């Protein structure tokens, strides 16, 4: 399908409304990045999202947009809560896949000789890989508590500190969770996967703060040049995958009212019983993911202290922030001067609130929300801060990562005859992975240049750069 | 095609894994799809004692039944720790109702090599077509 694309300015591209589109599409990109976007089918997916009932303003895409299933990855769409729909495909299977960044009191230069030991210890202590299960075995009752309380359950059970919660989006607990709507399959899959990293693009990375762009905000975030940091990317594991699958399949049976260009866009009215049940189940998965990342952080703290033989005071591993990037949230936004309640779907997109926003924790109220953008394992990640422009243009959203540019089979072909592990070591990056193909499929060339992606959101004003982080070592599934 | 090997090819999909799978008839297509999915997930080291597992799915059309069938094979692995090996009984009614009994073997994490974590079988761009030589389906997995 040929998609008409009009350049608005250096960073915004419009898909004009046509056919059954209810709103136009708006893509944040650059001349360099948009070329790759035109190569895959993500623009068609933006167009398809624009046909959904109750969509408000635009079907949006962030600069890391790439071809997903149903919604594009990097997609944002907001729906009127009275007339609009909720779509599990607009959230994704890995509900509340997200990132958390921890700061330390350590200088990377001092720890560099121990990075290999740290990576080996983390690889030993953090369950990784396909279908991995961890040492936590949840009873049905405890699993329900995790689903209701999220990261708060983890802290109550000794995994971390109460102050971690205020530095987590929604304090690590999404309201409205109701475990009684979950299938037996979801409960079964969630019983032994809490505290596991997973596989694919999920990772735990040791990094160094290479450059500070905004000292005032960086000071508030607790970041300084040369500092050692730890970045975790994981989600709700099989528990979330099952919940998405259960509800998507149920919604495909109730699609008579909607004529959809792609069955994967299956949706239902937000206000319907099915819509409300999905949101209650999705909140359970969101909470599971926040508990998961909280536990992973706790074990990371323990492993660092044990491996380096240092105290909590010497380590000072503190949570900077935890953000989700696969979620649907009921939020209040201003449309044409009026405050309205919307269901904002972010699939591969990060919330980015400006300073002064009522949902920000006190500690960041005067600077804005930290935005965490991981790159690939060979290049840098970024910390940004939310802005007013995001609230005005993208329902307070920005990008979530670099975004893939090569398929997995293309990446494996490109990696043939090469040792990705050795290439990374040559760049000073120690990596251990569980799956034989993981490093090849996740090689740096498989991703867009995260700097270009971040430059677009920075220049478009959706979020502004605070710091750049360079990887020193990583574990992957 | 080598006997018992699924007839499929991978598609280039930026984020996920897609495949075109073929079968000489519908039963063959469904079995090939299941074997191809297993091949993408896990490489069992050696045959282990098999279990018989009943599977039934209902869908709105043939494509829906196929997606739900593959979803059952995925859950068999992810939820029950069983690897699909072959089919024992297969009955498809009105392109909307499938009853089958499959042979499956327990996953052994110490010996079986894991390949990919497949999160789900998606409906995105899925189809089943009757061709001049049999049947063909396309499916994209979330990975």
DSSP string covering A123-190: HHHS--STT---S----HHHHHHHHHHTHHHHHHTTSS-HHHHHTBGGGG--TT--GGG--HHHHHHH
Tell me if A260 is assigned to some domain. yes
Q: What is the pLDDT of residue B1?
A: 44
Chain A residue with CA closest to B11: the answer is A409
The pLDDT, as a whole number, for residue A390 is: 97
Calculate mean pLDDT across residues A355-369. 97
Which pLDDT tens digit goes with each residue over A370-413? Answer: 999 999 888 899 999 999 999 999 999 999 998 888 888 889 88
Q: Note the pLDDT tens digit of each residue in A405-464.
A: 888 888 988 999 999 999 999 999 999 998 778 888 889 999 989 999 999 999 999 999
**Interface touch B119/A94, C-beta < 8 Å:** yes
Averages of pLDDT over runs of 10 residues in chain B (143 residues) are: 75 84 97 96 84 96 97 96 95 96 92 88 95 96 91
All residues of chain A having their beta carbon less than 8 Å from the beta carbon of residue B142 are 69, 92-93, 241
Q: Would you place residue A257 in the very low, low, confident or very high pLDDT band (cuts 50, 70, 90)?
A: low
Mean pLDDT of A170-177: 98
Query: B110 to chain A, minimum CA–CA distance in Å?
Result: 12
Closest Cβ opposite residue B115 in set A70, A242, A437? A437
Q: What is the pLDDT of residues A125-169, one digit of tens each?
A: 999 876 677 899 999 999 999 999 999 999 999 999 999 999 999
Q: What is the pLDDT of residue A377?
A: 84
Whether A387 is in a domain gets the answer yes
The pLDDT of residue A258 is above 90? no
What is the complex's ipTM, to 2 decimals?
0.92
Specify the pLDDT at position A256. Answer: 67
pLDDT digits (tens, 9 = 90+) for A27-60: 999 999 999 899 889 999 999 999 999 999 999 9
A201 within domain boundaries: yes
Number of domains comprising chain A: 1
pLDDT at A1: 65
Q: What are phi and psi of B128, to 5 degrees?
A: -130, 130
Q: Which residue has the tokens 């897609």?
A: B18
Instruction: Nearest by CB to B142, from A69, A188, A405: name it.
Output: A69
- A413 assigned to some structural domain: yes
Contacts of B10 in chain A (CB under 8 A): 409
* Contacts for B57 with CB less than 8 Å, ≥ 6 apart: B65, B68, B69, B71, B72, B97, B98
Domain housing A213:
6-476
Residue A253 lies in a domain: yes
What pLDDT score does A324 carry? 97
What is the pLDDT, as a whole number, of residue A131? 66
Read off the DSSP letter of residue A354.
Answer: P
| CB spacing of A198 vs B75 below 8 angstroms | no
In this complex, the residue of A67, A130, A238 whose CB is nearest that of residue B14 is: A67
Interval A92-125: pLDDT, tens: 999 999 999 999 999 999 999 999 999 999 999 9
In Å, how far is A198's CA from the nearest CA of chain B?
Answer: 8
Instruction: Residue A238: list chain B partners with CB under 8 A.
Output: 78-79
| A59 CB burial (10 A radius; 0-12, 13-18, 19+) | buried
Picking from A40, A73, A93, the nearest residue to B120 by CB comes out as A93
| Contact call for B117 and A130, based on CB within 8 A | yes
> What phi, psi does A221 have (nearest 5°)?
-75, -10
- Look at A245 and B113 and tell me if their CB atoms are within 8 Å: no
pLDDT at A251: 95
**The token pair that represents A286 in the structure block:** 């969101």
The verdict on residue A119 lying in a domain is: yes
Instruction: Judge whether A1 lies within some domain.
Output: no
Looking at every residue in chain A, the average pLDDT score rounds to 95
Tens digit of each residue's pLDDT (9 = 90 or more) over A295-350: 999 999 999 999 999 999 999 999 999 999 999 999 999 999 999 999 999 999 99
All structural domains of chain B, each given as residue ranges with its CATH number in brackets, are 9-142 (3.55.10.10)
Beta-carbon separation of B15 and A67 below 8 A: yes
Read off the CATH number of the domain in which A470 is found.
3.90.1860.10
Cα separation of the two ends of chain A: 36
Find the angle CA(A143)-CA(A148)-CA(A149) to the nearest 5 degrees. Answer: 95
């Amino acid at each position: 399908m040929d998609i008409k694309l009009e350049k608005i300015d250096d960073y915004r591209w419009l898909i004009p409304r046509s056919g059954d589109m209810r709103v136009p599409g708006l893509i944040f990109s650059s001349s360099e990045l948009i070329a790759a976007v035109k190569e895959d089918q993500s623009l068609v997916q933006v167009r398809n999202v624009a046909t959904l009932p109750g969509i408000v303003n635009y079907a949006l895409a962030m600069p890391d947009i790439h071809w997903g299933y149903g919604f594009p990855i990097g997609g944002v769409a907001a729906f009127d809560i009275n007339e609009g729909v909720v779509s599990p495909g607009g959230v994704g299977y890995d509900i509340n896949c997200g990132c958390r960044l921890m700061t330390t009191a350590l200088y990377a230069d001092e720890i560099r000789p121990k990075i290999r030991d740290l990576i080996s210890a983390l690889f030993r202590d953090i369950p990784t890989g396909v279908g991995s299960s961890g040492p936590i075995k949840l009873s049905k009752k405890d699993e329900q508590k995790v689903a209701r309380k999220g990261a708060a359950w983890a802290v109550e059970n000794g995994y971390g500190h109460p102050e971690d919660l205020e530095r987590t989006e929604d304090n690590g607990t999404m309201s409205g969770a109701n475990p009684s709507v979950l299938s037996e399959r979801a409960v079964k899959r969630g019983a032994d996967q809490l505290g596991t990293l997973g596989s694919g693009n999920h990772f735990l990375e040791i990094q160094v703060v290479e450059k500070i762009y905004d000292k005032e905000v960086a000071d508030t975030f607790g970041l300084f040049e040369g500092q050692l940091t730890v970045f975790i990317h994981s989600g709700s594991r099989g528990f979330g995958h099952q919940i998405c699958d259960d509800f998507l399949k149920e919604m495909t049976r109730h699609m008579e009212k909607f004529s959809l260009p792609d069955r994967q866009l299956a949706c239902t009215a937000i206000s319907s019983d099915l819509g409300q049940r999905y949101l209650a189940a999705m909140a359970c998965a969101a909470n599971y993911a926040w508990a998961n990342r909280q536990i992973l952080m706790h074990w990371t703290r323990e492993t660092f202290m044990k491996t380096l033989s240092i105290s909590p005071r010497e380590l000072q591993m503190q949570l900077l922030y935890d953000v989700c990037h696969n979620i649907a949230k009921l939020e209040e936004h201003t449309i044409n001067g009026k405050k309205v309640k919307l269901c904002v779907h972010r699939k591969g997109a990060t919330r980015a609130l400006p300073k002064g926003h009522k949902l920000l924790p006190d500690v960041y109220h005067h600077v804005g929300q930290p935005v965490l953008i991981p790159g690939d394992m060979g290049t840098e990640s970024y910390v940004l801060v939310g802005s007013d422009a995001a609230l005005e243009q993208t329902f307070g959203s920005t990008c979530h990562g670099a975004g893939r540019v090569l398929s997995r089979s293309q990446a494996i072909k490109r990696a043939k005859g090469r040792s990705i592990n050795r290439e990374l070591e040559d760049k000073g990056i120690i990596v251990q992975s569980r799956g034989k193909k993981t490093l090849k499929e996740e090689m740096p060339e498989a991703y867009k240049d995260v700097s270009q992606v971040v430059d677009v959101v920075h220049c478009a004003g959706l979020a502004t750069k605070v710091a750049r982080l360079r990887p020193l070592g990583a574990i992957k599934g | 095609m080598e006997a018992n090997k699924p007839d499929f090819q991978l598609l280039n999909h930026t984020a996920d894994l897609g495949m075109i799978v073929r079968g000489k008839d519908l039963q063959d297509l469904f079995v090939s799809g299941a074997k191809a999915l297993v091949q993408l997930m896990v490489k069992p080291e050696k045959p282990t004692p098999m279990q018989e597992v009943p599977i039934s799915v209902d869908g709105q059309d043939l494509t829906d039944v196929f997606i739900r069938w593959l979803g059952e094979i995925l859950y068999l692995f992810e939820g029950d720790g069983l690897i699909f090996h072959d089919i024992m009984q297969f009955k498809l009614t009105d392109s909307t109702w499938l009853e089958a009994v499959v042979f499956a073997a327990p996953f052994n994490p110490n010996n079986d090599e894991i390949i990919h974590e497949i999160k789900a079988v998606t409906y995105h761009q899925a189809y089943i077509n009757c061709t001049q030589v049999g049947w063909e389906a396309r499916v994209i997995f979330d990975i």
